[in-house]
Amino acid sequence: MGTVLDSHFLALTAIITVGYQLFFFVVTALLKFDKVTDFAGSTNFVILAILTLVLKGTWHLRQVILTLLTVIWGLRLALFLLMRILQWGEDRRFDEMRSKLWRLAVFWALQAVWVWTVSLPVTVVNASDRNPSLQAEDIIGWIMWSIGFTVEATADHQKLLFKNSLNNKGKWCNVGLWRFSRHPNYFGEIFLWWGIFVASAPVLESNEWLVILGPIFLTLLLFFVSGIPLLEESADKKFGNLAEYKIYKRKTSPLIPLPSAVYGNLPAWFKAAVLLEFPLYSRNLPQHERSNLYRKNQRDGSKESKMR
């Protein structure tokens, strides 16, 4: 069917994304109903992937596979998040937004940017006329997606089961993958979208390489804005006075899954520089607790060095 508005469907996908998110923003603002927020974000990815594939109409294998991977991820996440919020009731992220329309609008605007930007690799691949033969990047990217998807889905399921158990009321999740990472679901999501980018690489030329902004934006968003910082703040407020939680936080990687025996004995500088244990993730602990956490990290790392 040729092209629509521009050769890479960038304008079309932007218009559709803004319109889709604007519709749900109006519903949320008028009805004070925020249970569909995550559903709206995840399904938007599905719409863009299928629409660009169908509009281009070339149906290259790479296009079909990347679209299918996006649809599987989007539908799984949308249904999971919708089921979770229906079980739990209100979304606490919006407690302070419901009475402040401008803050709610900023959230929905950011969600629109997230959808459009992270979808860029799939959008550009689906819009392309190029169809090089299968390459190593394709296989590597698909494997990365499979690993990331499995980790994210498993972590989500484990946490849901943990939260739904009455025996775990008032506890933080530290079972399954959550024993090795404080945010394994985010690790999985970041990894799978970098996999999508790698799998799109054989098609990219010239300025099309700017689609790398998609996984970069997602990574920065989860690192510094709406992902890890918010959850670390919430956990510190709830459990920051518990000795067991402090030990868990000190010995558990913030993102990349690692055995606690390994992570807990690494030096503080290595955790910060390589494993992304940013001070931002402990800013809501009291100052003396942050200092203790840093000193214990250093002490654990020194003990490990001596043992070696």
Segment 92-129, tens digit of pLDDT: 655 555 567 788 899 899 999 999 999 999 999 999 99
Q: So what's the pLDDT on residue 307?
A: 39
The DSSP string of 48-90 is: HHHHHHHHH----HHHHHHHHHHHHHHHHHHHHHHHHHHHH-S
Q: So what's the pLDDT on residue 94?
A: 57
Backbone φ, ψ for residue 6 (5° rounding): -155, 165
For residue 101, what are its two tokens? 């329309």
- Identify the residue with better confidence: 196 or 7: 196
Predicted model pTM:
0.89
Q: What's the mean pLDDT in 155-162?
A: 96
Bridge partners, 4 (sequence order): 6
How far is CA 233 from each of CA 237, 238, 296, rounded to the nearest angstrom? 6, 9, 20
Give 7-60 pLDDT, tens digit per residue: 899 999 999 999 999 999 998 888 777 778 889 999 999 999 999 999 999 999
Query: What's at 277, amino acid-wise?
Result: E
Q: Model confidence at 305, in pLDDT bands (50, 70, 90)?
A: very low
Q: So what's the pLDDT on residue 1?
A: 43
Task: Give CA–CA dist 200/124, Å, rounded.
Answer: 8
Q: So what's the pLDDT on residue 104?
A: 85
